[in-house]
């Protein structure tokens, strides 16, 4: 439970942070809250030589709407999302997801950027960002680039971030009127990773058909999943119970869970089906209600 | 019902909800735990542990570690072998490795120890030690362990198989006949999994050997400091440790629950290191080490059978159990009871015939079999009988409450001699169950259940009417290492009327500093706030066997009352002298002796205390103090009835506990608030293994639940809201009529929860579910039964 020796840097500008990252290369890790990274270091599963803490870098903790997007700085802490009135009122999917993450102690330190960049398929924000069709903003020596959340997660603990890049912001499209979202998570106890979890974000057209559907799945494959087939099945359609069930069935077929102490792969597929139905129903109620 | 209160709040004797005296220091962060203690020149120890469950050690290369700055020594089994300290006895008369010289027997077993000047250097040095292993075939499944071709684990003992012992009690033939004659027989396999106490504070010690004085002081997280001192003197006498030169200090303890009774190898290595190096050595386990290597609890594979008439009168109980002890029997039971008090398994019922047998086996798992807040295997016993009563009720189509009423030992049958040899002191089982049923609205809930079932909803109601057996114990039956299981109090009254009381027990959170003070306040009328309670230092406390098995109130609590009564008798003599009357002319009310018929002529206990040192009667010894070693005439038998209501989410398999009513009877209550706190904690520790906790191993013996990521402990979020109530049936033989309560709820709660879940699923033919009841397990049943 004691990590090997490492050095710690707390740069005060993004440029400085990027320079440190370039200097130390793969031996460096970005520290963005640390509530996943530090336990792994204590178990000596990860042994970085340098930690680059982004906490003192200005401008990474903003929450604002601009240019059609909700802009979230990568260092926004979970607790700030939980307590922000804008998030609570207008982004129920994000609000619910945040509330399901770990426990209050972790949410006081953990950041949204850290949750995404860690690349853990058990983390909760990735599925939600896929459901929102969010964009992730990365800055590196070659400047800034935007990576769609649905293309960000490449493999187990592997993201589209280059080793010399830092995730700086997340942009969520501002939902149109008659939108709703919900996050359904089955966990064994507070602080547990999901047995399975489903994020649903949807919008209704004037005629009652679905003008937008995004469904993300947590911890049921080696990467967080975007349920593309389920979304396509619902897009432009009326959300009848039969169609929702069919889409939920597709999600359960398209995930690829592993059996473990939480349950068998079969159980997890069944939970994806059940939770997709539940999340969709609640998201739909929200869209219809406002 | 509140206990009868005889003292005013200024005295705060029995029955007062006195706030705990110890809480201020805990709430202010001023508790002093082992890891808070820092001695000059102290060194730190860390331990290399085996990655294999069964392997031969081919070599240990410590060169790289020894070359590191700050590394003082590396200790292996070969080093300890020179002093014949590489093995040690367990409390159950088996043997356990301190450090191996040859083979490792479970994953996370100690292999070598590093001593360094700094905790962090020690951890880095552990990584630098190279151990070469030759993996051997592990024996993980206890049934496999008994097969003729299974690898024999304890060849060191000359064993030719993995069987440790067979233990049986009861009349086999009479029970057999009762089963042959029975109208109805039910049989059920019940597995009570391996779990861990997981106390908030892990284990640890500081061994401080003074080479000049030859004195060893050990600060240790132990529930039984005197036993540790004597055991160390017995084990290490040959290297010069003598009992008068050993001082064991158990400072504040962050939870024990049975896990801090054993003497772990880490303690012995730290002591050996301190003796060899002449410096204090601190060893504190981390959480993973605690979960992976320290003593487990339970792990009983039970086959239980009940015989009954078709009207539902139980006629016989038969139980056969396989106990998985890991590689050595390191349980902490009284010496004559290898399966603890498992023979309380006839429970609250008048069962004429019973026969119980237990076989213990070795496997490549950590040693133990300790009582996790369960009074020596009583949880196993209660779980078996309370499950079986429900299995029988289901078979007979009878309400489980009705079946219980039909079979309870009746109030007029006490003292009751059970078929397996116990003499129950007192009880009123129907009253406790009736009270629980009234509080929860049992009949109304059954109506609601019928309606919900008609709608296809899953709701269940479960009862557990348990009987505990605590307070070990009468010295004719109970000993540890031959030392009789009495306990003690040494009470001194100061000239200003204040008191200090010292005990052989050791609180780990039970509130002894308050409870004992209230007992003395009750007996002497000295305000409880003026009674200082001390425990845990073998140089100052009277000899005692420690705190576990809910024994502190039954034994040391009784000793406190008896010592106080001795003091009161001397006080009476002094009072008679001061008031110039004879002793017979005095009457006592808490804190005052008055002259009969002249109530304004009186002396207070404070007046008497001063006189004991300034103006005592001629010919009498000065001072006012007493010592009492209390040997209980019998055990005490707390009991209770719990009712649990659950709703099951068919879609996910999640079980939600809607209500849980707990009616406890622990006899006379000393501090109702502390008792309620004990019950709340105990219920939560019963809920946890029922729903979440299990130590899981794969086929290679790798632990799959080696951290709190996977070994699941409930938080306040998961824990149900407990509704508690009480009946009071005093113990006839305890000086205060008290019985002990620390473990009742842990013992009684799991069966109520399982019975509720099984009840919910009974329309689909489900008769039993092994704990822990996870959502996955429930969903699988629903899936297999075609419910979803």
Evaluate whether residue B22 is within a structural domain: no
- The answer on B550 and B510 residing in a single domain is yes
| Burial class of B291 by CB neighbour count within 10 A (0 to 12, 13 to 18, 19+) | buried
A40-to-A48, B555, B558 alpha-carbon distances in Å:
10, 47, 50
Q: Is B127 in contact with A188 (Cβ distance < 8 A)?
A: no
Amino acid B620: pLDDT: 96
**Co-location of B320 and B460 in the same domain:** yes
Nearest-by-CA chain A residue for B711: A261
Is the distance from CB of A101 to CB of A110 less than 8 angstroms?
Answer: yes
- Which residues fall within 8 angstroms of residue B330, CB to CB, at 6 or more apart? B90, B91, B92, B94, B96, B262, B295, B367, B368, B369, B370
Average pLDDT over residues B71-81: 98
Based on the domain organization, do B766 and B700 belong to the same domain?
A: yes
Q: Residue A156 in contact with residue A219, Cβ under 8 Å?
A: no
Closest residue in chain A to residue B290, using alpha carbons only: A1
User: Is the same domain home to B338 and B261?
Assistant: no
- What pLDDT is recorded for position B374? 87
β-partners of residue B785 are none
> Residue B26 domain-assigned?
no
Contact: B776, A189; criterion CB under 8 Å = no
Question: Which member of B12, B205, B374, B666 is catalytic?
Answer: B374
Q: CA of A261 to nearest chain B CA: how many angstroms apart?
A: 8
Q: Residue A195: closest CA among chain B residues belongs to which residue?
A: B776
Contacts of A266 (CB under 8 A, 6+ apart): none
pLDDT at B181 over 50: yes
The structural domains of chain A, ordered by start, are 7-53 (3.30.43.10), 63-173 (3.30.465.10), 179-283 (3.30.390.50)
Please name the member of B704, B713, B780 whose beta carbon is closest to the beta carbon of A261: B704
Interface check A195 vs B, CB under 8 A: yes
Nearest Cα residue in chain B from A197: B652
Q: Per the residue annotation, which of B20, B49, B318, B373 is the catalytic one?
A: B373
Burial of B232 (0-12, 13-18, 19+ CB in 10 A): buried
Range of the domain at B603: 487-630
What does the block give as tokens for B699? 């086929």
Clarify whether residues B494 and B468 are in a common domain.
no
Supply the CATH number for residue B362's domain.
3.30.365.10
Question: Which residues have C-beta within 8 Å of that of residue B462, sequence separation ≥ 6?
Answer: B390, B400, B643, B644, B645, B646, B751, B752, B753, B754, B755, B756, B757, B758, B759
Residue where a domain stops, chosen among B284, B307, B322:
B284
**Is B9 domain-assigned?**
no
Q: Are residues B72 and B42 in the same domain?
A: yes
Residue in B with minimal Cα distance to A274: B651
**Listed residues B284, B304, B333: the one ending a domain:** B284
- Look at residue B245 and tell me whether its pLDDT is greater than 80: yes
Q: How many CB pairs under 8 A join A and B?
A: 61
B19, part of any domain: no
The proportion of chain A whose per-residue pLDDT surpasses 70, expressed as a percent, equals 100
Q: Is B374 a catalytic residue?
A: yes
Q: Assess contact for A185 and A98: CB atoms under 8 A.
A: no
Give the mean model confidence (pLDDT) for residues B165-173.
Answer: 98
CA distance A130 to A153: 10
Whether residues B775 and A278 touch (CB distance < 8 A) is answered with: no
Asked if B421 and B565 sit in the same domain, the reply is no
Nearest CB to B286: which of A1, A192, A195?
A1
Between CA B304 and CA B308 the distance in angstroms is 13
Q: What is the pLDDT of residues A4-29, one digit of tens each?
A: 999 999 999 999 999 999 999 889 99
- Total structural domains within chain B: 3
Based on the residue annotation, tell me whether B96 is a catalytic residue of this protein. no
The answer as to whether B398 is a domain residue is: yes
Q: Do B715 and A186 touch (CB under 8 A)?
A: no
How much is the average pLDDT of B639-656?
A: 98
Which of B491, B501, B497 is closest to B566 using CA atoms? B491
> Does residue A290 carry a pLDDT above 80?
no
- Locate the chain B residue with the closest alpha carbon to A1: B286
**Residues B127, A4: C-beta atoms closer than 8 Å:** yes
Residue B123 is part of a domain; what is its CATH number? 3.90.1170.50
Of B124, B127, B651, the CB nearest to A274: B651
Q: What's the rounded Cα separation, in Å, for the pair B294 and B297?
A: 10
Establish if B194 belongs to a structural domain: no
Q: Which residues of A are less than 8 Å from B123 in CB distance?
A: 1-2
Region B147-173 average pLDDT: 98
Residues of A in contact with B696 (CB under 8 A): 261
Q: Quote the ipTM score.
A: 0.96
CA distance A191 to chain B (A): 8
Q: What is the pTM of this model?
A: 0.97
pLDDT for res B3: 52
Q: Quick one: pLDDT band at residue B490, thresholds 50, 70, 90?
A: very high
Q: What are phi and psi of B301, to 5 degrees?
A: -100, 105
**Mean pLDDT, to the nearest integer, of A35-54?**
95
**Considering CB atoms only, which of B119, B124, B718 is closest to A4?**
B124
Of B287, B776, B788, the CB nearest to A1: B287
pLDDT in tens, B525-566: 999 999 999 999 999 999 999 999 889 999 999 999 999 999
Q: Inter-chain contact B779–A263, Cβ cutoff 8 Å?
A: yes
Give the span between the Cα atoms of B376 and B468, in whole angstroms: 10
Q: What is the mean pLDDT of chain B?
A: 96
Q: Say if A278 is an interface residue toward chain B (CB within 8 Å).
A: yes
Residues B621 and B640 in one domain: no
Binary contact (B713, A4; C-beta < 8 A): no
Residue B633: is its pLDDT beyond 50?
yes
Per-residue pLDDT at B162 exceeds 70: yes
Which residues of chain B does A4 touch, with a Cβ-Cβ cutoff of 8 Å? 124, 127
Q: Which of B630, B647, B669 is at the close of a domain?
A: B630
Residue B193: phi, psi to the nearest 5?
-70, 170
Give the model's pLDDT for residue B1: 41
Pairwise CA distance, residues B299 & B284, whole Å: 27
Burial of B181 (0-12, 13-18, 19+ CB in 10 A): exposed
- Residue B314 three-state SS: strand
Residue whose tokens read 């060169």: B63
Q: Is residue B690 part of a domain?
A: yes
Cβ pair B715:A44 closer than 8 A: no
For the stretch B192-202, pLDDT in tens is 999 999 999 99
Same domain, B640 and B614: no
Contacts (Cβ under 8 Å, ≥6 apart) of B339: B167, B321, B323, B333, B358, B360, B377
Residue B286 C-alpha, separation from nearest chain A C-alpha, in angstroms: 7
Residue with tokens 């006949």: B177
For residue B454, the tally of other CB atoms under 10 A from its CB is: 8
pLDDT surpasses 80 at A133: yes
pLDDT of residue B551: 93
What pLDDT is stored for residue B481 in this prediction? 86
Same domain, B674 and B779: yes
Q: Kindly state whether residue B172 falls inside one of the protein's structural domains.
A: no
Q: Both B217 and B131 in a single domain?
A: yes
Q: Are residues B425 and B305 in the same domain?
A: yes
Residues of chain B contacting A, Cβ within 8 Å: 119-120, 123-124, 127, 286-288, 651-654, 692, 696, 704-705, 709-710, 712-715, 717-718, 774-776, 779-780, 783, 788
Contact between chains at B127 and A44 (C-beta distance less than 8 A): yes
Q: Does A259 touch chain B (CB under 8 A)?
A: no
Predicted pLDDT of residue A1: 83
Quote the percentage of chain B above a pLDDT of 90. Answer: 96
Q: Is A44 on the interface with B (CB under 8 A)?
A: yes
Neighbour count for residue B89 (Cβ, 10 Å):
16
């Amino acid at each position: 439970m004691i990590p090997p020796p490492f050095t710690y840097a707390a740069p005060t500008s993004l440029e400085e942070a990027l320079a440190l990252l370039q200097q130390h290369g793969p031996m460096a890790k970005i520290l963005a809250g640390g509530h996943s990274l530090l336990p792994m270091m204590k178990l000596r599963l990860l042994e970085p030589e340098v930690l680059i803490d982004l906490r003192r870098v200005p401008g990474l903790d903003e929450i604002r709407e601009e240019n059609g997007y909700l802009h979230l700085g990568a260092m926004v802490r979970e607790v700030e999302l939980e307590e922000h009135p804008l998030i609570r009122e207008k982004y129920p999917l994000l609000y619910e997801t945040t509330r399901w993450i770990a426990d209050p102690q972790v949410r006081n330190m953990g950041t949204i950027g850290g949750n995404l960049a860690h690349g853990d398929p058990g983390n909760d924000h990735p599925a939600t960002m896929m459901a929102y069709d969010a964009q992730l903003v990365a800055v590196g020596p070659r400047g800034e680039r935007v990576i769609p959340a649905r293309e960000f997660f490449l493999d187990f603990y592997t993201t589209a971030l280059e080793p010399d890049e830092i995730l700086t912001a997340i942009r969520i499209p501002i939902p149109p009127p008659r939108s709703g979202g919900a996050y359904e998570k089955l966990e064994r106890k507070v602080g547990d990773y999901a047995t399975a979890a489903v994020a649903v974000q949807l919008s209704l057209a004037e005629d009652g058909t679905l003008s937008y559907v995004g469904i993300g799945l947590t911890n049921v494959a080696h990467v967080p999943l975007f349920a593309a087939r389920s979304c396509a099945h619902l897009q432009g359609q009326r959300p009848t119970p039969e169609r929702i069930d069919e889409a939920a069935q597709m999600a359960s077929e398209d995930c690829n869970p592993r059996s473990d102490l939480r349950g068998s792969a079969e159980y997890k597929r069944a939970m994806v089906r059940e939770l997709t139905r539940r999340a969709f129903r609640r998201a739909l109620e929200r869209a219809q209600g406002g | 019902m509140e206990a009868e209160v005889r003292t005013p709040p200024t005295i705060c004797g029995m029955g007062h909800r006195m706030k705990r005296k110890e809480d201020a220091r805990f709430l202010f962060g001023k508790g002093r735990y082992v890891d808070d203690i820092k001695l000059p020149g102290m060194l730190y120890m860390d331990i290399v542990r085996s990655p294999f469950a069964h392997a031969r050690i081919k070599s240990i290369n410590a060169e790289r570690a020894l070359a590191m700055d700050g590394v003082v020594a590396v200790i292996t089994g070969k080093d300890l072998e020179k002093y014949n300290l590489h093995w040690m006895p367990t409390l159950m008369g088996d043997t356990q490795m301190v450090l191996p010289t040859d083979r490792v027997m479970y994953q996370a077993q100690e292999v070598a120890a590093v001593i360094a000047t700094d905790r962090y250097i020690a951890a880095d040095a552990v990584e630098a030690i190279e151990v070469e292993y030759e993996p051997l075939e592990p024996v993980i499944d206890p049934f496999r362990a008994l097969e003729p071709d299974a690898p024999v684990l304890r060849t060191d003992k000359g064993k030719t198989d993995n069987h440790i012992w067979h233990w049986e009690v009861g009349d086999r033939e009479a029970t057999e006949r009762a089963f042959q004659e029975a109208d109805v027989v039910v049989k059920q396999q019940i597995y009570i999994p391996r779990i861990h106490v997981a106390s908030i504070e892990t284990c640890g010690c500081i061994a401080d050997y003074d080479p000049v004085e030859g004195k060893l002081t050990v600060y240790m997280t132990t529930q039984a400091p005197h036993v540790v001192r004597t055991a160390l003197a017995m084990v290490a006498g040959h290297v010069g440790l003598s009992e008068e030169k050993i001082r064991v200090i158990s400072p504040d303890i962050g939870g024990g629950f049975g896990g801090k009774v054993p003497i772990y190898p880490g303690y012995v290595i730290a002591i050996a290191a301190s003796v060899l190096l002449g410096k204090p050595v601190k060893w504190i386990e981390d959480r993973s080490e605690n979960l992976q290597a320290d003593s487990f609890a339970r792990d009983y594979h039970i086959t239980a059978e009940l015989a009954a008439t078709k009207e539902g009168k139980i006629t016989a109980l038969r139980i056969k159990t396989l106990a998985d002890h890991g590689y050595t029997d390191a349980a902490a039971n009284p010496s004559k009871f290898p399966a603890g008090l498992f023979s309380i398994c006839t429970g609250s019922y008048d069962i004429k015939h019973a026969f119980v047998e237990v076989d213990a086996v070795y496997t490549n798992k950590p040693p133990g079999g300790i009582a996790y807040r369960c009074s020596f295997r009583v949880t196993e016993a209660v779980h078996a009988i309370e499950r079986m009563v429900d299995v029988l009720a289901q078979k007979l189509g009878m309400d489980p409450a009705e079946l219980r009423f039909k079979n309870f030992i009746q109030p007029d049958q006490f003292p009751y001699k059970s078929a397996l040899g116990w003499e129950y002191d007192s009880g009123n089982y129907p009253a406790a169950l009736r009270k629980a049923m009234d509080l929860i609205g049992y009949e109304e809930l059954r109506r609601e259940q019928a309606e919900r079932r008609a709608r296809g909803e899953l709701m269940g109601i479960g009862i557990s009417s348990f009987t505990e057996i605590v307070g070990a114990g009468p010295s004719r039956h109970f000993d540890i290492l031959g030392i009789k299981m009495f306990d003690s109090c040494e009470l001194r009254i100061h000239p200003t009327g204040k008191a200090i009381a010292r005990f052989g027990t050791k609180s780990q959170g039970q509130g002894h500093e308050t409870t004992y003070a209230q007992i003395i306040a009750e007996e002497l009328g000295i305000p409880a706030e003026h009674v200082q309670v001390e425990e845990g230092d073998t140089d100052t406390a009277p000899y005692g066997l420690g705190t576990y098995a809910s024994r502190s109130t039954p034994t040391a609590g009784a000793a406190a009352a008896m010592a106080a009564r001795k003091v009161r008798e001397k006080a009476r003599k002094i009072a008679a002298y001061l008031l110039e009357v004879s002793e017979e002319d005095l009457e006592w009310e808490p804190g005052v002796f008055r002259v009969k018929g002249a109530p304004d002529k009186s002396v207070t206990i404070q007046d008497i205390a001063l006189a004991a040192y300034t103006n005592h009667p001629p010919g009498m010894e000065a001072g006012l103090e007493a010592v009492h070693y209390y040997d209980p005439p019998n055990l005490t038998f707390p009991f209770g009835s719990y009712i649990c209501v659950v709703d099951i989410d068919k879609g996910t398999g999640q079980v939600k506990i809607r209500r849980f009513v707990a009616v406890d009877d622990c006899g006379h209550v000393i501090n109702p608030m502390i008792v309620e706190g004990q019950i709340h904690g105990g219920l939560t520790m019963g809920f946890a293994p029922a729903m979440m906790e299990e130590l899981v191993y794969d086929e290679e013996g790798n632990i799959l639940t080696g951290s709190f990521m996977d070994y699941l402990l409930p938080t306040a979020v998961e824990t149900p809201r407990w509704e508690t109530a009480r009946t009071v049936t005093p113990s006839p033989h305890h000086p205060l009529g008290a019985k002990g309560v620390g473990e009742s709820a842990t013992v009684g709660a799991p069966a109520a929860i399982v019975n509720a879940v099984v009840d919910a699923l009974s329309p689909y033919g489900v008769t039993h579910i092994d704990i822990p009841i996870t959502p996955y397990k429930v969903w699988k049943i629903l899936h297999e039964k075609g419910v979803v």
